[in-house]
Amino acid sequence: MLENTTQLSNAAKGYFIKTERFKTTYISYNFYLPLDRDKIAEFALLPFVLTTCGKEYPDFSKLNFKLNKLYSASLSASAEKVGDYQLLKMSISVIDDKYALDGEELVVKAAELLNSLVFEPSVQNGAFSDEDVRREKRKAIEHIRGEMADKRTYARRRLIEEMYKDDIYGLPKCGTEEQVAAITPESLYKAWRELISRAAICVNVISGVMPQNIFDDIKARLALIDRSGAVTVGNSVQTKSIYAAKRVEEEMDVAQGKLVMGFSAEVDPDESRSAPFTVMCDIFGGGPYSRLFANVREKMSLCYYCSASGEKRKGLIIVDSGVEDKNAKKAEVEIIRQLEIIKAGNFTDFEFESSKRSIVNSLQSYGDHQEAIDAWYTVKSASREPISPEEFAQYVLKVDRQSVIDAAKTVKLHTVYTLKPKGEK
Predicted confidence at residue 425, as pLDDT, reads 53
Whether residues 318 and 416 share a domain: the answer is yes
Nearest to 262 by CA among 173, 160, 157: 160
DSSP 411: -
293: Cβ contacts below 8 Å, ≥ 6 apart: 285, 286, 287, 306, 307
Predicted confidence at residue 103, as pLDDT, reads 76
166: Cβ contacts below 8 Å, ≥ 6 apart: none
Whether residues 406 and 274 share a domain: the answer is yes
Predicted confidence at residue 230, as pLDDT, reads 96
The pLDDT tens digits along the chain (425 residues) read: 787 889 999 999 999 999 999 999 999 999 999 999 999 999 999 999 999 999 999 988 999 999 999 999 999 999 999 999 999 999 999 999 888 887 789 999 999 999 999 999 999 999 999 999 999 999 999 999 998 889 999 999 999 999 999 899 999 999 999 999 999 999 999 999 999 999 999 999 999 988 888 999 999 999 999 999 999 998 899 999 999 999 999 999 888 899 999 999 999 888 878 999 999 999 999 999 999 999 999 999 999 999 999 999 999 999 999 999 999 999 999 999 999 999 999 999 999 999 999 999 999 999 999 999 999 999 887 666 788 999 999 999 999 999 999 999 999 999 999 999 986 55
Whether residues 255 and 204 share a domain: the answer is no
Whether residues 260 and 373 share a domain: the answer is yes
Whether residues 149 and 286 share a domain: the answer is no
Instruction: Please check whether residue 277 is in contact with residue 267, taking contact to mean a CB–CB distance below 8 angstroms.
Output: yes
φ, ψ of residue 414 to 5 degrees: the values are: -115, -55
Does 323 fall in a domain? yes
Q: Following DSSP, what letter does each residue of 249-301 receive, concatenated? A: EEEES-SSEEEEEEEE----SSGGG-HHHHHHHHHHHSSTTSHIIIIIIIIS-
Nearest to 257 by CA among 145, 149, 413, 152: 152
Judged on CB neighbours under 10 Å (0-12, 13-18, 19+), 335 is buried
Whether residues 255 and 126 share a domain: the answer is no
48: Cβ contacts below 8 Å, ≥ 6 apart: 77, 79, 136, 139, 140
Does 134 fall in a domain? yes
Does 229 fall in a domain? no
φ, ψ of residue 321 to 5 degrees: the values are: -150, 150
Does 230 fall in a domain? no
Does 102 fall in a domain? yes
Instruction: Please check whether residue 71 is in contact with residue 95, taking contact to mean a CB–CB distance below 8 angstroms.
Output: yes
Q: What is the rounded CA–CA span in Å between residue 303 and residue 258? A: 9
Instruction: Please check whether residue 154 is in contact with residue 148, taking contact to mean a CB–CB distance below 8 angstroms.
Output: yes
Longest dimension (CA), the chain: 72
Residue where one domain finishes, among candidates 171, 189, 222: 222
- Kindly provide the b/e burial profile for residues 258-289, where b requires at least 16 CB atoms within 10 angstroms of the residue's own CB: bbbbbbbbebebebeebbbbbbbbbbbbbbeb
Predicted confidence at residue 262, as pLDDT, reads 98
Whether residues 87 and 193 share a domain: the answer is yes
248: Cβ contacts below 8 Å, ≥ 6 apart: 158, 159, 162, 415, 416, 417, 418
Whether the model clears a pTM of 0.85, i.e. scores above it, the answer is: yes
Number of residues that this document lists for the chain? 425
Order the strands of the 305-311 sheet from edge to edge.
246-252, 412-421, 257-264, 316-323, 305-311
Whether residues 134 and 256 share a domain: the answer is no
SS3 12: strand
Predicted confidence at residue 159, as pLDDT, reads 97
Predicted confidence at residue 271, as pLDDT, reads 81
Predicted confidence at residue 293, as pLDDT, reads 96
Residue 125's CB is within 10 A of a number of other CB atoms, namely 7
Residue 165's CB is within 10 A of a number of other CB atoms, namely 10
Nearest to 80 by CA among 88, 72, 92: 88
Does 241 fall in a domain? no
Name the packing angle between helices 185-198 and 130-149 (round to 10°).
80
Predicted confidence at residue 132, as pLDDT, reads 95
SS3 224: coil
Residue where one domain finishes, among candidates 187, 222, 257: 222
Whether residues 323 and 407 share a domain: the answer is yes
Whether residues 294 and 194 share a domain: the answer is no
Q: How far is CA 197 from CA 2, 221, 231, 283, in A?
A: 26, 11, 9, 43
Residue 200 bridge partners (DSSP): 32
**What's the structural domain count of the chain?**
2
Whether residues 196 and 63 share a domain: the answer is yes
Identify residue 373 by its one-letter amino acid code: I
DSSP 5: E
Whether residues 218 and 281 share a domain: the answer is no
Does 200 fall in a domain? yes
Predicted confidence at residue 270, as pLDDT, reads 83
Predicted confidence at residue 65, as pLDDT, reads 95
Predicted confidence at residue 384, as pLDDT, reads 66
Q: What domain range includes position 159?
A: 2-222
For the domain that residue 66 is a member of, what is the CATH number?
Answer: 3.30.830.10
SS3 93: strand
Q: What is the rounded CA–CA span in Å between residue 52 and residue 282? A: 39
Does 90 fall in a domain? yes
Judged on CB neighbours under 10 Å (0-12, 13-18, 19+), 252 is middle
